Amino acid sequence: MPLDTASGAFAIAPTPFHPDGRIDYDSIDRLGDFYREVGCTGVTVLGIMGEAPKLDGEEAVEVATRFIRASQGLAVVVGVSAPGFASMRGLARKAMEAGAAGVMIAPPPSLRTDDQIVTYFRQASEAIGPDVPWVLQDYPLTLSVVMTPAVIRRIFAENPSCLMLKHEDWPGLEKISALRAFQADGSLRPISILTGNGALFLDFEMERGADGAMTGYAFPEMLVDVVRLQKEGRRDAAHDLFDAHLPLVRYEQQQGVGLAVRKYVLARRGLLASDAQRKPGPVLSDRAKAEVEYLLSRVARVDRRAAISPQLARAS
Amino acid sequence: MPLDTASGAFAIAPTPFHPDGRIDYDSIDRLGDFYREVGCTGVTVLGIMGEAPKLDGEEAVEVATRFIRASQGLAVVVGVSAPGFASMRGLARKAMEAGAAGVMIAPPPSLRTDDQIVTYFRQASEAIGPDVPWVLQDYPLTLSVVMTPAVIRRIFAENPSCLMLKHEDWPGLEKISALRAFQADGSLRPISILTGNGALFLDFEMERGADGAMTGYAFPEMLVDVVRLQKEGRRDAAHDLFDAHLPLVRYEQQQGVGLAVRKYVLARRGLLASDAQRKPGPVLSDRAKAEVEYLLSRVARVDRRAAISPQLARAS
Amino acid sequence: MPLDTASGAFAIAPTPFHPDGRIDYDSIDRLGDFYREVGCTGVTVLGIMGEAPKLDGEEAVEVATRFIRASQGLAVVVGVSAPGFASMRGLARKAMEAGAAGVMIAPPPSLRTDDQIVTYFRQASEAIGPDVPWVLQDYPLTLSVVMTPAVIRRIFAENPSCLMLKHEDWPGLEKISALRAFQADGSLRPISILTGNGALFLDFEMERGADGAMTGYAFPEMLVDVVRLQKEGRRDAAHDLFDAHLPLVRYEQQQGVGLAVRKYVLARRGLLASDAQRKPGPVLSDRAKAEVEYLLSRVARVDRRAAISPQLARAS
Amino acid sequence: MPLDTASGAFAIAPTPFHPDGRIDYDSIDRLGDFYREVGCTGVTVLGIMGEAPKLDGEEAVEVATRFIRASQGLAVVVGVSAPGFASMRGLARKAMEAGAAGVMIAPPPSLRTDDQIVTYFRQASEAIGPDVPWVLQDYPLTLSVVMTPAVIRRIFAENPSCLMLKHEDWPGLEKISALRAFQADGSLRPISILTGNGALFLDFEMERGADGAMTGYAFPEMLVDVVRLQKEGRRDAAHDLFDAHLPLVRYEQQQGVGLAVRKYVLARRGLLASDAQRKPGPVLSDRAKAEVEYLLSRVARVDRRAAISPQLARAS
């Protein structure tokens, strides 16, 4: 599946670690199987939530390669954002050799003006090479770089190898509408728009024209289903399922502890052997774990997939 | 009600404007009646969501005074954050003369170190005068000033007239637990903690020890009820009501357009004559209004107060 | 002198305070006389260095009015930057009524994209009224808003009442060259460019095409002379004088204590009755004062105007 | 020379590149010889000015190793700041094996509270291992992390392997005095304080108690001499030499183009084969080059070492 026509749910995968900080490759394999089985169309690795900056260069290649192998049949996008182009290029080319569908690039927080942003992505695209398909990550809340729809259009116009937008502006509904309007008036070529933000607005993002979701919510099944239901025109059903998960989606969305919650849930689901993060990383308090369990029990009233029997749990 | 023992729901009031930018005093009166009737214990005016920076000095005093008069029986907190202490003191003293219960102070974004933060609030407290009760606003997401629980404890220890914490750190559940633990070990005197963040975490904040909510959600009735239900120990009922509103709470939480959504809903409820904001302010698209209407109809399935008959609507 | 043809040195005036925080109007009068006598063509009041945010609305009008009266014959620019347009308009119109030559507007730090910046200044210009001449302040180092030369050109094109650029980008030499090139190719109308940054680059800014200086260095005589010498084509003489002052210019340039140094020197020169700042403000240590005295003695070897006899000193 | 008793001038070395972006190892050798010949006591490589983020992991090790070999007899400090501890540890240990005297660590810009800062450096110190001597970099202007003197004291108290402070707070004179006062009262153990900021305040920093300079000014001879003169108590002579260089020091200090100026001058001095930077990097305009030449000619009137005969020049 070429990235510019991609749709559905791309799961953002966490990087699994053992409690001592070593990479847990078995859990990578388990995640790959899981994402395929639940109907994801893609997997994104080494993103911000993937603790990518905590890996050194060789580890990053190994994790990406293992995920690619484990996710046969799915499109794998590898985050290659780096402070410099040398590291970015190195990882991008090794990822493509290993079979990635493309790479993802976020802007460095220092960019301010429209021209600075456009220039950066032109140089990044040149650095990785024109043959490497890439995803533009638009994430102002965390990166503090604000791209207008017109700037995004310029980036796509200048870089034929840029095929997909990972949209997580906030608020971003009007931005999706603006980009689709650009396509309607012929000023923007077809691109895929997958939305992030922990899925907090996925229900309406689909109605505004998103092609799917790319985020790390611990129940990618919900992402798959909401995307599908909205495409089938079953609006109320989509919202009903979404709303049932929203309290947990919202809880995961907390900056700082969100990843800890996700790893905890994925460990409770038997997918990760441990919910460990590499340092520096927050630890989930017992109180917080109990809150997550309560939320899971409430989600399970509507969606049985959230009914996790304690026996399955491997974590903490 | 002295602020250090305050609980329940403090509604953060928007400042009503006519479409031409003049202040709409009749809507202030209507809001005051409304907040009292639905069971709020307090009202907060001239907060960040109150478009306070768009008022000049005299207007600020007039708006605060009118709200105080309109909200008889409720504790009114007046936001007095200002770039300088002269303006802060002027507004604070006029607000107290008009009958305010206290004032609220947020830190300027330039503060970085623990000592800078503590020093600032000591000077602010001196500036407004030791007889003026005040609320400490802790809002890192917007203000980029991060206060540890220990710094908050220092501020309360140094300033006897600081009586309440408006808590909107994100994530902030552990911070509430830490502050309540300080009180348990005797290192922090009794204070009131009301939580903000658009109520996005109110369900669990109450369980962690918050005394209530201080936020601008367009259905303060929900805040009143969730606070009450949690205090009565009716956890599931509290979450059931909260979850029914969460899709709209979440929609309002969007930075940038949140206030537009709130004003739209309050206008639809017949409380504001217009949903106008002073410039610069975003305008809600027709698409967004339709989304809000859809959300209202879904909330109304559980909470009939969200069933707004079109006849009532005054806005747009 | 209309602002768009202004040149020479505009002194940025500090706001004089008594040690107890009251405004010191006598020192305002003394400063006005002084600036005129040393050959300044203008005075800028209520700028960032003027402690403007520490004044309330009425005080700001009084300070501006007094400076305008005290500076007969000079063009007075009044800083009107404010969090909201109501306050900005109020001060701008009162300043113009009192006889100001124009007002100065800086962008709020939250602006990011080119369009946000352009939109803000269009709205600000509308708010103060099309009859009020204004100066665009470009100061990324402190305000974190970055305007490209093309964005500056858009602002001047959209707003006929914008007549002057206060340039203090850093580094900014190429920006001056770019703007002058725009004028050479006819895409930018004639504007005045005065440079700030504490005069740290004034020597070369003049060679790149600046019309003069607008900054608060405690020896505006040097600004006047360097501008004049450069206009006369006496490059080496301009640099010789500039270099003699540079150690002190550099010392004043320290963020945080720069204003304290300036007020100390102006008090030592007998112009301010006190070097007091309103809180919060740093206090100059004895060690720092001794360093300033040493610098003054070194400047005085070349420029006798820096030879301040101790008898003249009023401060500390 | 152990780092905690280090003094004199540590030159911050640029990373030399060929015009096509390859690393220029011959110029590294030439720089090493040069720094030793002019009397530097140390060399710092892979700092912010060393374009470190533009190197990939292997290149960083190669550059550090080559500099260590080329700088026999000098203490070499290797910048190891990295987004994650895995990369930091890897580079630190390889640098020490290659013969580095220690490593330098800057705080990531996201740190805010005192505790966050202290915790980060504790974890970083653990990550590189307790046997690796390290230098604490305090650089708020660029990194936006503000450390009070008390926080710096905590970091040194907690981490016995932290031996030196690279001081480039701005303004920072009082900070040096505060740290030396801590040592006088016994609350801080002996440490070396070398100052950065492009040497803009070196004259007074030495008088406040700094042990020397660590910065990249293109005439490290001046740093060596000013440090020596101040230690000999020859205050006026130190300032005379410093002031002669200050116009160029100031010109180099421009954020964004400072490195381009330094590389240009080092190339003009025959030390770098090319003044090329890896992308993204600014290019010095012809106008700027002419300004630098003019400044060099003026410095040369006092310090003959700045009289660079055109024949020597290799660059541009």
Which letter, b or e, does each residue of D146-161 get, where b requires 16 or more Cβ atoms within 10 Å of its Cβ? bbbbbbbbbbbeebeb
> Does residue B252 belong to any structural domain of this protein?
no
Whole-angstrom distance, CA of residue A284 vs CA of residue A259: 10
The residue assigned the tokens 């030449």 is D293
pLDDT at C48: 80
The residue assigned the tokens 């004259």 is D203
Q: How confident is the model at residue A312 (pLDDT cuts 50, 70, 90)?
A: very low
Q: Which amino acid is at A52?
A: A
Q: Which residues of C fall within a CB distance of 8 Å from D287? A: 173-174, 177, 208
Task: State the total domains in chain C.
Answer: 1
Beta-carbon pairs below 8 A across chains A and B: 67
Asked whether this complex has an ipTM greater than 0.85, the answer is yes
Q: Which residues of B fall within a CB distance of 8 Å from A173? A: 287-288, 291
For C114, the closest of A113, A144, A145 (CB atoms) is A113
Q: Mean of the pLDDT values across residues B284-288?
A: 96
Q: Which residues of B fall within a CB distance of 8 Å from A288? A: 173-174
Q: Report yes or no: C204 and D291 within 8 Å, Cβ to Cβ.
A: yes
pLDDT at A17: 97
Whether residue D255 has pLDDT greater than 80: no
- Model confidence pLDDT, tens digit, residues B233-244: 999 999 999 999
Give the neighbours of chain D: at least 3 Cβ pairs within 8 Å: A, B, C
Q: Report yes or no: D179 and D148 within 8 Å, Cβ to Cβ.
A: no
> Does residue A20 belong to any structural domain of this protein?
yes
DSSP state of D15: P
Q: Mean of the pLDDT values across residues D44-57?
A: 91
The continuous run of DSSP H or E covering A243 comes out as helix A235-252
Whole-angstrom distance, CA of residue A230 vs CA of residue A238: 6
> Does residue B77 belong to any structural domain of this protein?
yes
Q: Which residues of C fall within a CB distance of 8 Å from D208? A: 287
Q: Which residues of A fall within a CB distance of 8 Å from B285? A: 174, 177
Whole-angstrom distance, CA of residue C155 vs CA of residue C162: 8
Give the neighbours of chain C: at least 3 Cβ pairs within 8 Å: A, B, D
Whole-angstrom distance, CA of residue C47 vs CA of residue C77: 9
Whole-angstrom distance, CA of residue A205 vs CA of residue A201: 6
Q: Which residues of B fall within a CB distance of 8 Å from D116? A: 146
Q: Which residues of D fall within a CB distance of 8 Å from B114? A: 113-114, 148
> Is the Cβ of C301 closer than 8 Å to some Cβ of chain D?
no
For D250, the closest of C174, C200, C208 (CB atoms) is C200
Whether residue B122 has pLDDT greater than 90: yes
Whether residue B171 has pLDDT greater than 90: no
Question: Does A298 sit within 8 Å of B247, measured CB to CB?
Answer: no
Question: Does C279 sit within 8 Å of B86, measured CB to CB?
Answer: no
> Is the Cβ of A119 closer than 8 Å to some Cβ of chain C?
no
pLDDT at D313: 45
> Is the Cβ of B179 closer than 8 Å to some Cβ of chain A?
no
Whether residue A162 has pLDDT greater than 60: yes
Question: Does D54 sit within 8 Å of A84, measured CB to CB?
Answer: yes
Question: Does B113 sit within 8 Å of D146, measured CB to CB?
Answer: yes
Phi first, then psi, for residue D303 (nearest 5°) are: -120, 105
Q: Which residues of C fall within a CB distance of 8 Å from B55? A: 84, 86-87
> Is the Cβ of B121 closer than 8 Å to some Cβ of chain C?
no
* A214 is an annotated ligand-binding site residue: yes
> Is the Cβ of D122 closer than 8 Å to some Cβ of chain A?
no
Q: Which residues of C fall within a CB distance of 8 Å from B84? A: 51, 53-56, 278
For A146, the closest of C112, C144, C148 (CB atoms) is C112
Question: Does B279 sit within 8 Å of C56, measured CB to CB?
Answer: no
Whole-angstrom distance, CA of residue A176 vs CA of residue B131: 51
For residue A115, the distance in angstroms to the closest alpha carbon of chain B comes to: 24
Which residues of B, range 196-255, sit inside 8 Å of C by Cβ?
A: none
> Does residue D281 belong to any structural domain of this protein?
no
- Model confidence pLDDT, tens digit, residues A45-96: 998 888 999 999 999 999 999 999 999 999 999 999 998 999 999 999 999 9
B7 CB-near residues (< 8 Å, 6+ apart): B41, B192, B194, B211, B212, B227, B231
Tokens representing residue A244 in the block:
């049932």
Q: Mean of the pLDDT values across residues A185-197?
A: 97
Q: How many other β-carbons are positioned within 10 Å of the β-carbon of residue D209?
A: 16
Whether residue A313 has pLDDT greater than 80: no
For residue A82, the distance in angstroms to the closest alpha carbon of chain D comes to: 8
Q: How confident is the model at residue A310 (pLDDT cuts 50, 70, 90)?
A: low
Question: Does D146 sit within 8 Å of B116, measured CB to CB?
Answer: yes
> Is the Cβ of C73 closer than 8 Å to some Cβ of chain B?
no
DSSP state of C312: G
What parts of chain C have a pLDDT lower than 70?
Answer: 1, 309-316
For residue B91, the distance in angstroms to the closest alpha carbon of chain C comes to: 10
> Is the Cβ of D150 closer than 8 Å to some Cβ of chain B?
yes
End-to-end alpha carbon distance in chain A: 38
Question: Does D112 sit within 8 Å of B112, measured CB to CB?
Answer: yes
> Is the Cβ of C280 closer than 8 Å to some Cβ of chain B?
yes
For C148, the closest of A113, A150, A151 (CB atoms) is A113
pLDDT-wise least confident of A232-236, A296-300, B259-263, D139-143: D139-143
Tokens representing residue C84 in the block:
């909201």
Q: Which residue of A has its CA nearest to C147?
A: A113
> Does residue C185 belong to any structural domain of this protein?
yes
For C85, the closest of B54, B58, B119 (CB atoms) is B54
Q: What's the domain range around B176?
A: 3-234
Nearest Cα to Cα of residue A202 among A189, A219, A188: A219
Q: Which residues of A fall within a CB distance of 8 Å from B208? A: 287
pLDDT at B49: 83
Beta-carbon pairs below 8 A across chains A and C: 27
Q: Report yes or no: B256 and B282 within 8 Å, Cβ to Cβ.
A: yes
Q: Please spell the DSSP secondary structure of chain B, one letter per residue.
A: --GGG--EEEEEPPPPB-TTS-B-HHHHHHHHHHHHHTT-SEEEESSGGGTGGGS-HHHHHHHHHHHHHHTTTSEEEEE---SSHHHHHHHHHHHHHTT-SEEEE---TT--SHHHHHHHHHHHHHHH-TTS-EEEEE-HHHH-----HHHHHHHHHH-TTEEEEEE--SS-HHHHHHHHHHHHTTSS---EEEE-GGGTTHHHHHHHT--EEEE--S-HHHHHHHHHHHHTT-HHHHHHHHHHHHHHHHHHTSTTTHHHHHHHHHHHTTS-S----PSS-----HHHHHHHHHHHHHHHTT-GGG---GGG----
Q: What is the CATH number of the domain that holds B222?
A: 3.20.20.70
Whole-angstrom distance, CA of residue C117 vs CA of residue C138: 11
For C115, the closest of A112, A144, A148 (CB atoms) is A148
Question: Does C239 sit within 8 Å of D285, measured CB to CB?
Answer: no
Nearest Cα to Cα of residue A30 among A270, A300, A264: A270
Q: Which residues of D fall within a CB distance of 8 Å from C208? A: 287
∠ Cα B167 B169 B175 (to 5°): 75
For A288, the closest of B173, B251, B254 (CB atoms) is B173
The 3-state secondary structure of C157-200, one letter per residue: HHCCCEEEEEECCCCCHHHHHHHHHHHHCCCCCCCEEEECHHHC
> Does residue A280 belong to any structural domain of this protein?
no
The residue assigned the tokens 């290649």 is A61
- Across chain B, what does the average pLDDT equal? 95
Question: Does D280 sit within 8 Å of A120, measured CB to CB?
Answer: yes
Which residue, among C287, C296, C302, would best test binding to D if mutated, counting the most D CBs under 10 Å from its CB?
C287
- Across chain D, what does the average pLDDT equal? 95
Q: Which residue of D has its CA nearest to C295?
A: D239
Record the pTM.
Answer: 0.95
pLDDT at A314: 44
Nearest Cα to Cα of residue D140 among D175, D181, D180, D178: D175
Which residue, among C23, C46, C51, C54, would best test binding to B if mutated, counting the most B CBs under 10 Å from its CB?
C54
> Is the Cβ of B119 closer than 8 Å to some Cβ of chain C?
yes
> Does residue D95 belong to any structural domain of this protein?
yes
pLDDT at C310: 61
pLDDT at D208: 98
- Percent of chain B exceeding pLDDT 90 equals 89
> Does residue A245 belong to any structural domain of this protein?
no
Whole-angstrom distance, CA of residue A292 vs CA of residue A261: 8
A293 CB-near residues (< 8 Å, 6+ apart): none
pLDDT at D170: 79
- Percent of chain A exceeding pLDDT 70 equals 97
Q: Which residues of D fall within a CB distance of 8 Å from A82? A: 53
- Across chain A, what does the average pLDDT equal? 95
